[in-house]
């Protein structure tokens, strides 16, 4: 790997393996995967992490219900995620498991360092706790109904617990994190999330955070006080550096975290408090590098509202594969779902996006262009200078839409980037309608100019499509008879001067 390349490290949340697979897992992971592929095309040295969060009371409870050993249970559940990403052809560099030895060593080091720095202390916790969410909830934030308390987001019932615990001195860092938000307004992608976190958690001093439990044993014990198990969020968040070899001061940790150029965490908005407040504070307290950005996306909502087991509207991503190629599904989740807002999902929307964008717009463009090339030319289609207004307009459209695509991707507005790609494809189809090249069989010089511009436009679209649909892009690449797709080549109009275009199969069959 080129040592001069900028580094880029992107992560998904590590998913809790006790529940069912759902399309929220796919949304987050696909988003990170597409960004990873884009950054590779931008010539970054990229690493991508996903994984599973395998400790806690809920896991212990589920394993007991199934009469299984805890580790056997998490192995079984975690394999569901590993198999899912294989089926969706989502590749990654690190699969982080909190049951791994290197993670345990990392957490023990972190806990001991916090003790040594007097960042944590032992006391008594009494308050509300959600087993399902592995989260302590202040009474002021809980929903009270029928003399019971419920989690404000998940609506899981809360239990009153009282037990000895180690606490992290979170309160001491309230001003620091408030100032950090003010000084780094782009730390969180999505200003609504920043505003909500400030209003809900930073208007008053943060509460000191309970970071151990003694009522269960499935987790990493505190070496000096082994009845205490490190609480899930302190355990889970540090996976992002334990997988890089933080405890061993591994070269991956030094290169991609300590001295890295960009570090991005992709998370759902329901866990932003932990990633945007607790995680930076933990890191700052230990004088460790803070991530570049937290990319917090909205929820996926069905016609019955937010997905939940109680509503029976949880959609398993495996079910979608019965009807669609994985790349078609991945295109929909990247190109048609906004990061900033919640997104309504229905399976029919995937079909609509496929037919509108891929069949009618891109597929039609390719078919029309390649048919005319083979009907009229047996040699390569060379670029020629032109003063025609329609030609100049469409060349500018190729360049401008590609620039927009880069701009939006760099801002992590992924759906807007793909909108720019589709707008270009529409412009190219309009260009065919306006120039009527099928009527120019007696003016091959003019026809050659038009077809070369169209081939360059198809190249640009294919390069833009590649981060989300590499397999389909490869099929188009084979028709264009080019060895690779490069962003650097998009604006070089002479790229087809020595190339014989292959005949076209239907890339996107109508469904």
pLDDT tens for 162-195 read 889 999 999 999 999 999 999 999 999 977 888 8
Record the tokens describing residue 53, joined without a space.
């969060």
| pLDDT band, residue 309 (cuts 50/70/90) | low
Given a cut of 60, whether residue 20 has pLDDT beyond it is yes
- Of the candidates 340, 299, 295, 336, the one whose C-alpha atom is nearest the C-alpha of residue 10 is 295
Most confident of 7-11, 159-163, 270-274, 306-310: 7-11
Give pTM, 2 decimals: 0.94
Kind and range of the H or E run holding 348: helix 347-353
| pLDDT band, residue 136 (cuts 50/70/90) | confident
Query: What is the reported pLDDT for 108?
Result: 97
pLDDT tens, position by position, 466-504: 999 999 999 999 999 999 999 999 999 999 999 999 998
CA–CA dist 421, 463 (Å, integer):
10
Across residues 376-403, what is the average pLDDT? 97
CA–CA dist 314, 317 (Å, integer):
10
Query: What is the reported pLDDT for 1?
Result: 46
| pLDDT band, residue 36 (cuts 50/70/90) | very high
Burial annotation 311-339 (CB, 10 A radius, 16+ → b, else e): eebbbebeebeeebbbbbbbbbbbbbbeb
Given a cut of 80, whether residue 427 has pLDDT beyond it is yes
Given a cut of 60, whether residue 368 has pLDDT beyond it is yes
Q: Helix, strand or coil for residue 423? A: helix
pLDDT tens, position by position, 201-252: 888 889 999 999 998 999 999 999 999 999 878 999 999 999 999 999 999 9
Query: What is the reported pLDDT for 505?
Result: 86
Average per-residue pLDDT for the chain = 94
Across residues 19-45, what is the average pLDDT? 96
């Amino acid at each position: 790997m080129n040592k001069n390349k900028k580094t880029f490290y992107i992560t998904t949340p590590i998913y809790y393996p006790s529940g069912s697979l759902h399309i929220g897992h796919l949304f987050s992971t696909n988003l990170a995967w597409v960004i990873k592929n884009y950054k590779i095309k931008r010539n970054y040295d990229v690493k991508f992490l996903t994984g599973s969060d395998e400790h806690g009371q809920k896991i212990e409870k589920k394993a007991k219900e199934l009469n299984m050993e805890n580790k056997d249970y998490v192995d079984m559940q975690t394999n569901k995620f590993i198999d899912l990403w294989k089926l969706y052809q989502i590749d990654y560099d690190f699969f982080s498991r909190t049951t791994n030895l290197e993670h345990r060593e990392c957490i023990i080091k972190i806990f001991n360092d916090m003790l040594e720095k007097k960042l944590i202390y032992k006391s008594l916790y009494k308050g509300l706790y959600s087993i399902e969410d592995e989260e302590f909830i202040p009474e002021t934030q809980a929903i009270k109904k029928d003399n019971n308390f419920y989690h404000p987001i998940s609506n899981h019932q809360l239990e009153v617990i009282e037990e000895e615990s180690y606490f992290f001195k979170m309160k001491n860092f309230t001003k620091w994190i408030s100032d950090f938000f003010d000084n780094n307004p782009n730390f969180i992608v999505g200003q609504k999330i920043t505003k909500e976190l400030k209003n809900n958690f930073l208007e008053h001093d943060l509460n000191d955070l309970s970071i151990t439990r003694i009522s269960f044993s499935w987790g990493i014990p505190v070496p000096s006080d082994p009845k205490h198990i490190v609480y899930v969020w302190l355990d889970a968040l540090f996976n992002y550096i334990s997988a890089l070899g933080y405890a061993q001061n591994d070269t991956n940790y030094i290169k991609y975290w300590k001295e890295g150029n960009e570090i991005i965490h992709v998370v759902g908005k329901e866990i932003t408090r932990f990633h945007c407040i607790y995680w930076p504070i933990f890191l700052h307290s230990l004088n460790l590098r803070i991530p570049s950005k937290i990319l917090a996306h909205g929820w996926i909502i069905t016609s019955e509202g937010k997905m939940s087991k109680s509503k029976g509207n949880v959609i398993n991503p495996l079910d979608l594969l019965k009807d669609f190629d994985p790349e078609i599904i991945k295109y929909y989740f990247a190109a048609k779902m906004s990061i900033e807002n919640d997104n309504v999902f229905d399976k029919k929307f995937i079909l609509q996006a496929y037919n509108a964008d891929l069949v009618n717009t891109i597929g039609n463009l390719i078919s029309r262009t390649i048919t005319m090339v083979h009907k009229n030319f047996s040699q390569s289609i060379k670029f020629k200078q032109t003063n025609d207004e329609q030609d100049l307009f469409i060349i500018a459209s190729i360049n401008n839409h590609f620039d927009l695509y880069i701009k939006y991707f760099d801002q992590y507005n992924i759906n807007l980037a793909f909108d720019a790609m589709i707008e270009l494809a529409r412009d190219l189809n309009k260009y065919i309608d306006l120039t009527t090249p099928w009527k120019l069989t007696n003016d091959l010089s003019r026809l050659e100019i038009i077809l070369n511009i169209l081939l360059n436009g198809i190249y640009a679209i294919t390069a833009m499509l590649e981060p989300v649909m590499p397999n389909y892009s490869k099929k188009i690449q084979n028709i264009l008879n080019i060895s690779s797709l490069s962003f650097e080549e998009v604006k070089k109009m002479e790229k087809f001067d020595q190339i014989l275009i292959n005949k076209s199969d239907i890339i996107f069959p109508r469904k």
